[in-house]
């Protein structure tokens, strides 16, 4: 292992305490003595555990909530970006205790215009886990117009406590554990670009066969998790990296011919704090590439610019994910006239942008999306946007797409002069 690492100043306990809103017109004792089995003796239910909720952990998040018997009524934490004015609320991740073998209902209200829970609710499936690591879909839900849009799911979980999230979590701690393991590989070097606003590591992996001179190789730069809740990018990135260092025959040419530099978590504070999109300062990092206002983006951009001035950068991938598929499906934004997209599409499930308006960007102008494209000034730059909540996705499926993306990149460079 070749390790270059700074000692972080890590701040903990950064989660605000969730606000508990009392049920309108309800008795404060209703959570304890409510008759849950339909008999006439409310006291017979007094020994049923009262539900309790915790979101004060790495990537935990919830808005105002109340608990009444077997029902959790909640809102998603809503944040306004100070640099764009946009409002985002799609990430929630919490632990419920006292569920026992009971049928529990989770109601998410006020989501009519929510891009995850409201706009295309028929495809939304939240996830749950008994151990915080292995996740299952909550396959059945109902949606109605009441209370500004009400998404509701009822489930007997079969474990206690249970974790519930919008979709598959990938926390800051998960990234640390994974990246330390990757750093043990003979093909990988782990370095730290610096620290986030709150003192967390912003790491970079360099993966290649060092026995082959770097000047004989092409260079790929990949960044992920600018937006805190866009966890699909993390699972696809881990799939890509784990394939590169796997020792498989098909992976060796990708080490011999390419240098892979990967920043897996640009926004570690936002991830840890359970934000949907923002940094710890409530900034959208994707919109700060031109102004230097987000320290995390500045670290990545300065590294990218230094590489471009030195050994060179031949491709940049900015890995995000979409919250809905009303307008977008698993797709890539790509510069006009590029030859990479057809190769990527032939290897993976990524499709072209299907939004109305401009369907491609150049480094000088991106009228549809992609601040990185507009301001990093490299060509080609690609923005990958899977839709992780869509019910066809699994963690294994996301990781497989990452592996296939690595092979598509290798295939494309093989054909380049």
What pLDDT is stored for residue 378 in this prediction? 57
Q: CA-to-CA distance for 398 and 403, rounded, in angstroms?
A: 9
What pLDDT is stored for residue 392 in this prediction? 74
Q: Please report the domains of the chain, with CATH numbers, ordered by start residue.
A: 11-165 (2.60.40.3120), 172-414 (3.40.630.10)
Nearest to 290 by CA among 279, 278, 305: 305
- Token pair listed for 56: 């004060």
What pLDDT is stored for residue 286 in this prediction? 86
Q: At what angle do helices 172-182 and 232-244 cross, to 10 degrees?
A: 10
Instruction: Please count the helices (runs of H) and the strands (runs of E) in the chain.
Output: 9, 21
What pLDDT is stored for residue 379 in this prediction? 56
Nearest to 411 by CA among 365, 345, 328, 329: 345
Question: What residue ranges of the chain have pLDDT lower than 50?
Answer: 1-46, 326-329, 353-370, 373, 377
What pLDDT is stored for residue 328 in this prediction? 40
Give the CA count within 13 Å in the CB-facing half-sphere of 143.
Answer: 19
Nearest to 100 by CA among 55, 155, 157, 163: 157
What pLDDT is stored for residue 133 in this prediction? 93
């Amino acid at each position: 292992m070749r390790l270059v690492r700074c000692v972080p100043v890590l701040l903990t306990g950064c989660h605000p305490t969730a606000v508990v809103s009392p049920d309108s017109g309800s008795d404060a004792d209703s959570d304890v003595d409510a008759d849950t089995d339909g008999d006439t003796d409310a006291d017979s239910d007094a020994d049923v555990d009262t539900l309790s909720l915790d979101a004060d952990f790495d990537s935990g998040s919830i808005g105002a909530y109340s608990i009444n018997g077997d029902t959790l009524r909640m809102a998603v934490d809503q944040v306004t970006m100070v640099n764009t004015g946009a409002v985002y609320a799609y990430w929630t991740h919490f632990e419920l205790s006292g569920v026992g073998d009971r049928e529990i209902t989770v109601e998410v209200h006020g989501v009519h215009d929510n891009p995850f829970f409201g706009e295309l609710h028929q495809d939304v499936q939240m996830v749950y886990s008994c151990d915080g690591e292995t996740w299952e879909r909550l396959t059945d839900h109902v949606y109605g117009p009441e209370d500004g849009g009400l998404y509701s799911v009822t489930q007997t979980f079969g474990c206690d406590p249970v974790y519930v999230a919008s979709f598959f979590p990938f926390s800051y701690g998960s990234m640390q554990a994974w990246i330390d393991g990757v750093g043990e590989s003979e093909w990988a070097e782990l370095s730290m670009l610096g620290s986030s606003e709150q003192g967390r590591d912003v790491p970079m992996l360099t993966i290649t066969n060092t026995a082959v001179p770097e000047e004989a190789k092409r260079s790929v730069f990949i960044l992920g998790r600018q937006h805190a809740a866009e966890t699909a990018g993390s699972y696809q990135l881990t799939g890509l990296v784990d394939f590169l260092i796997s020792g498989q025959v098909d992976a060796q040419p990708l080490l011999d011919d390419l240098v892979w530099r990967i920043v897996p978590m640009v926004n570690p504070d936002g991830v840890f704090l359970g934000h949907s999109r923002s940094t710890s300062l409530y900034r959208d990092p994707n919109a700060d590439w031109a102004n230097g206002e987000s320290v995390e983006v500045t670290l990545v951009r300065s590294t990218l610019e230094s590489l471009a001035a030195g050994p060179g950068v031949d491709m940049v991938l900015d890995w995000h994910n979409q919250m809905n598929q009303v307008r977008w499906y698993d797709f890539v934004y790509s510069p006009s006239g590029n030859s990479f997209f057809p190769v990527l599409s032939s290897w993976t499930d990524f499709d072209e942008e299907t939004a109305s308006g401009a369907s491609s960007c150049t480094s000088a102008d991106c009228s549809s999306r992609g601040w990185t494209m507009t301001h990093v000034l490299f060509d080609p730059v690609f923005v990958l946007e899977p839709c992780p909540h869509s019910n066809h996705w699994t963690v294994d499926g996301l990781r497989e797409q990452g592996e296939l993306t690595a092979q598509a990149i290798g295939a494309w460079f093989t054909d380049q002069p």
